[in-house]
């Protein structure tokens, strides 16, 4: 035994002090290794749709309903099974409804407590008693543990014991609290680990609510999406990112996320927009609404003015950033200086296009990228507001602590967008600070830059890393974006659709090529035999016949239109992927109406299984990444046991 390893074993001996403690832990770990692996849930592109997101977490992506049906298929009605599921999903709200309509709550409590305990046993059966106990709410952990695991001398004794505990819970008026506690335990055990593959932000109204839920989720990881990195850049103080965030919120009728969610003050921008575009109808800037708008017509007109004002500020800021960084190779996005402000036409790729808007009061034709004094004041005040938002700082800190450009987890390679490729099927390189990177190395380097941007943003005024956050949002070789351009200016000001076209990276052409997928998996050191690529970003147009499963099952796209603004083009409301001990299951979800209807009518998200990829042998913990770590711990403990037996290290008795 070398000195370094002996020193490590001596440190380990502080935790496991003698032979008895070491052998107990070895037995425990080896038993855990042979348990079935826990269920992983994969989601992406939820885009602020918090009610549907929370419903999927509450129902365990259908796992809880399946367990209820398995247990009670022949013993209680479908309506009763539906009510039991709703009680688990929303216990507080469901109990309030029952109290208004139920004449005998004692009987209701008794029935439901028994049923909830059966479901809890089913979902927790694959875990150790210790793990289940740690997941229990502390105020009821002992009682729940007893009810789940106590064995009497015979069934009669056990039934009497159970009945007495349940009767006591009801008599002491603790049934509500107990039902809430065991419902949370069921939901906790249904999903062992959550993978969020990007784009929590923008479009829908509930990104802050989703982030709060993710921060309190027991086990999860996060792969950044381009919309997430945009908000991260805004929180770093990048003015281009800030203007994009404000513009997108106004475009999607979602200013409440800024004002109510994060306390961002947009009043100065609102006053400026109203004064500057007082007589401008701003028709191209009316907010997009999928459902009934929260705003009156006059409010929507004001929002359209806000959107135009911040869009012009954005184009100016982006132009200056592009000039500052010629290495971004984005000169083709310098458009304000291509406009003839007398004829109101623009030249793009040697072709002239008529502008549909002729009112540009803040643009100096001789210096179109120069911000006016008022515009500078507006963007500086917005920057201060973003930097001082405590809730945004908390959420973004979480994204940095849990998030990555990519993740390899149990032989699955997870990333949001793409790996940049050339048209010839080779990894495309990108130069960063004098060095060229591609594939995995490019992703690693970009993640380093993103971290530097956050941790140095408040101390450095001229920060290259903070600037780069905007490139990650919309740069052609950013793996998070994966297109040749973002045609924001063209969509606003040019009617000809040909100018709106955004060409996808060749990666998307190669998604069905198994050899290309193997090339990617190999670069990221993922098993070619068992590995999968799982990503989102580009919605799958299922109604047009597109499939989310590609390259003979090697690649799975799980963006199916979670955001309501996408659902007309996709024909569904997102995909959810689960991976348990039996294999992978991909489900296509129908639109979710609302939480209130789910509670009142027992409605759930309807899903259709479109891929079931079973494994030949049921996966155990030892087949997972966590299993590899546990096996390493077992090896170390066995060496410590040897050291105790040989006397190389002394026991503490």
pTM: 0.93
Q: Which residues of 600-630 are buried (b: 16+ CB within 10 A; e: fewer)?
A: eebbbbebeebbeeeeeeebbbbbbebbeeb
Cα distance between residue 131 and residue 479, in whole Å:
38
Residue corresponding to tokens 């026991």: 651
Last residue of one domain, picked from the residues 493, 516, 545: 493
CB atoms within 10 A of CB 48: 26
Shared-domain flag, residues 466 and 362: yes
State the pLDDT at residue 294.
64
State the pLDDT at residue 601.
84
Last residue of one domain, picked from the residues 477, 493, 509: 493
Domain containing 488 equals 226-493
Tell me, letter by letter, the H, E, C secondary structure of 360-381: CCCCCCCCCCCCCHHHHHHHHH
- Asked if residue 85 lies in contact with residue 59, where contact means CB atoms within 8 angstroms, the answer is yes
Shared-domain flag, residues 141 and 255: no
- Asked if residue 45 lies in contact with residue 225, where contact means CB atoms within 8 angstroms, the answer is yes
Q: DSSP 3-state helix, strand, coil percentages of the chain (rounded to 5)?
A: 55, 10, 35
Shared-domain flag, residues 93 and 14: no
* Furthest-apart CA atoms within the chain: distance in Å: 94
Provide the pairing of β-strand 575-580 with 220-223.
unpaired
State the pLDDT at residue 17.
95
Does residue 588 belong to any structural domain of this protein?
no
Q: Which residues of 523-556 are buried (b: 16+ CB within 10 A; e: fewer)?
A: bbebeeeebbbbbbbbbbebeeeeebbbbeebbb
Token output for 612: 């079931």
Tell me, letter by letter, the H, E, C secondary structure of 554-594: CEEECCCCCCHHHHHHHCCCCEEEEEECCEEEEEEECCCCC
Q: What is the enclosing helix (H) or strand (E) of 111?
A: helix 105-124
State the pLDDT at residue 457.
60
Last residue of one domain, picked from the residues 127, 160, 189: 189
Q: Which residues contact 353 (CB under 8 A, 6 or more apart)?
A: 345, 346, 347, 494, 496, 499
Cα distance between residue 283 and residue 277, in whole Å:
12
Shared-domain flag, residues 271 and 363: yes
Cα distance between residue 247 and residue 252, in whole Å:
9
DSSP 8-state code for residue 486: -
- Asked if residue 354 lies in contact with residue 345, where contact means CB atoms within 8 angstroms, the answer is yes
Shared-domain flag, residues 474 and 338: yes
State the pLDDT at residue 151.
55
Token output for 167: 């009767």
Residues of the chain below pLDDT 70? 1, 150-158, 290-295, 457-462
Does residue 295 belong to any structural domain of this protein?
yes
Helix (H, G, I), strand (E, B) or coil at 496: coil
Shared-domain flag, residues 341 and 230: yes
Does residue 173 belong to any structural domain of this protein?
yes
Helical residues (DSSP H) of 125-238, grouped into ranges? 129-135, 141-149, 155-171, 175-190, 207-215, 226-235
Token output for 425: 């099927």
Does residue 275 belong to any structural domain of this protein?
yes
Does residue 579 belong to any structural domain of this protein?
no
For the four alpha carbons of 627, 630, 636 and 640, in that order, the dihedral sign comes to negative
Shared-domain flag, residues 350 and 268: yes
Shared-domain flag, residues 254 and 146: no
Shared-domain flag, residues 437 and 342: yes
Shared-domain flag, residues 458 and 389: yes
- Asked if residue 490 lies in contact with residue 315, where contact means CB atoms within 8 angstroms, the answer is no
Ramachandran angles phi, psi of 471, nearest 5°: -60, -40
The neighbouring-strand residues paired with 413 are 408, 533
Helix (H, G, I), strand (E, B) or coil at 543: helix
Give which of 289, 299, 334, 303 is closest to 316, Cα–Cα: 334
Ramachandran angles phi, psi of 223, nearest 5°: -105, 120
Does residue 202 belong to any structural domain of this protein?
no
Shared-domain flag, residues 279 and 344: yes
Shared-domain flag, residues 165 and 272: no
Helical residues (DSSP H) of 216-296, grouped into ranges? 226-235, 239-251, 255-256, 262, 267-276
Structurally, how many domains does the chain consist of? 3
Does residue 277 belong to any structural domain of this protein?
yes
For the four alpha carbons of 310, 332, 475 and 521, in that order, the dihedral sign comes to positive
Sheet strands side by side (includes 339-340):
339-340, 345-348, 351-354
Does residue 534 belong to any structural domain of this protein?
no
What contacts 24+ positions apart, CB below 8 Å, involve 264-268? 264/382, 264/385, 264/386, 264/389, 264/392, 265/381, 265/382, 265/385, 266/306, 266/382, 268/377, 268/378, 268/381, 268/382
Token output for 468: 């780069």
What contacts 24+ positions apart, CB below 8 Å, involve 522-527? 523/419, 523/427, 523/439, 523/440, 524/406, 524/408, 524/413, 524/439, 524/440, 525/408, 526/408, 526/411, 526/412, 526/413, 527/411
**What length is written for the chain?**
653
């Amino acid at each position: 035994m070398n000195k370094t390893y002996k020193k490590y074993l001596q440190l380990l001996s502080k935790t496991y002090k003698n032979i008895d403690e070491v052998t107990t832990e070895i037995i425990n770990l080896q038993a855990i290794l042979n348990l079935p692996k826990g269920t992983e849930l994969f989601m992406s592109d939820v885009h602020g749709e918090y009610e549907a997101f929370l419903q999927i977490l509450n129902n365990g992506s259908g796992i809880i309903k399946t367990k209820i049906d398995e247990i009670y298929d022949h013993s209680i009605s479908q309506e009763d099974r539906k009510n039991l599921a709703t009680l688990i999903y929303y216990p507080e709200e469901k109990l309030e409804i029952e109290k208004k309509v139920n004449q005998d709550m004692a009987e209701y409590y008794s029935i439901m407590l028994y049923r909830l305990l059966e479901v809890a046993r089913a979902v927790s059966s694959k875990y150790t008693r210790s793990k289940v106990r740690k997941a229990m709410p502390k105020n009821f952990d002992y009682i729940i543990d007893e009810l789940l695991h106590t064995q009497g001398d015979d069934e009669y004794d056990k039934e009497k014991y159970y009945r007495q505990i349940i009767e006591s819970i009801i008599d002491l008026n603790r049934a509500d609290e107990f039902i809430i506690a065991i419902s949370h335990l069921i939901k906790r055990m249904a999903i062992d680990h959550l993978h969020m593959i990007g784009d929590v932000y923008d479009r829908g109204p509930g990104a802050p609510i989703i982030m709060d839920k993710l921060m309190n989720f027991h086990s999860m990881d996060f792969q950044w999406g381009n919309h997430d990195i945009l908000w991260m850049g805004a929180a770093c103080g990048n003015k281009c990112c800030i203007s994009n965030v404000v513009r997108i919120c106004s475009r999607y009728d979602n200013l409440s996320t800024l004002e109510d969610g994060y306390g961002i003050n947009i009043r100065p921008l609102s006053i400026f927009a109203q004064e500057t575009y007082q007589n401008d109808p701003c028709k191209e800037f009316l907010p997009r609404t999928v459902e009934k708008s929260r705003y009156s017509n006059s409010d929507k007109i004001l929002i359209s003015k806000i959107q135009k004002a911040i869009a012009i500020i954005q184009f100016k800021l982006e132009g200056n950033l592009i000039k500052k960084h010629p290495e971004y190779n984005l000169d083709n996005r310098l458009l304000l200086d291509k406009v003839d402000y007398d004829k109101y036409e623009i030249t793009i790729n040697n072709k002239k296009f008529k502008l549909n808007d002729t009112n540009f009061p803040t643009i100096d034709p001789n210096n179109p990228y120069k911000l006016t004094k008022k515009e500078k004041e507006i963007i500086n005040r917005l920057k201060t507001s973003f930097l001082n938002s405590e809730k945004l700082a908390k959420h973004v800190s979480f994204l940095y602590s849990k998030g990555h450009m990519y993740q390899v987890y149990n032989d699955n390679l997870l990333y949001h967008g793409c790996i940049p490729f050339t048209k010839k099927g080779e990894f495309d390189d990108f130069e960063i600070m004098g060095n060229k990177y591609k594939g995995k190395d490019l992703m690693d380097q970009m993640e380093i830059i993103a971290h530097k941007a956050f941790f140095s943003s408040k101390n450095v005024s001229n920060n290259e890393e903070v600037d780069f956050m905007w490139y990650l949002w919309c740069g052609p070789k950013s793996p998070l974006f994966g297109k040749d351009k973002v045609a924001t200016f063209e969509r606003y000001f040019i009617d000809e659709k040909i100018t709106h076209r955004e060409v996808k990276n060749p990666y998307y052409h190669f998604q069905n090529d198994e050899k290309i997928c193997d090339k990617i998996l190999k670069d990221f050191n993922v098993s070619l035999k068992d590995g999968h690529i799982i990503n989102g970003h580009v919605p799958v147009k299922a109604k047009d016949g597109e499939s989310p499963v590609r390259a003979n099952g090697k690649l799975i796209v799980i963006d199916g239109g979670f955001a309501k603004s996408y659902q007309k083009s996709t024909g569904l409301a997102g995909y959810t992927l689960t991976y348990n001990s039996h294999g992978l299951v991909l489900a296509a979800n129908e639109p979710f109406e609302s939480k209130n209807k789910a509670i009142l009518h027992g409605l759930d998200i309807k899903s259709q299984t479109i891929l079931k990829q079973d494994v030949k042998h049921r996966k155990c913990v030892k087949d997972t990444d966590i299993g590899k770590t546990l096996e390493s711990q077992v090896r170390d403990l066995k060496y410590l046991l040897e050291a105790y037996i040989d006397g190389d290290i002394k026991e503490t008795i």
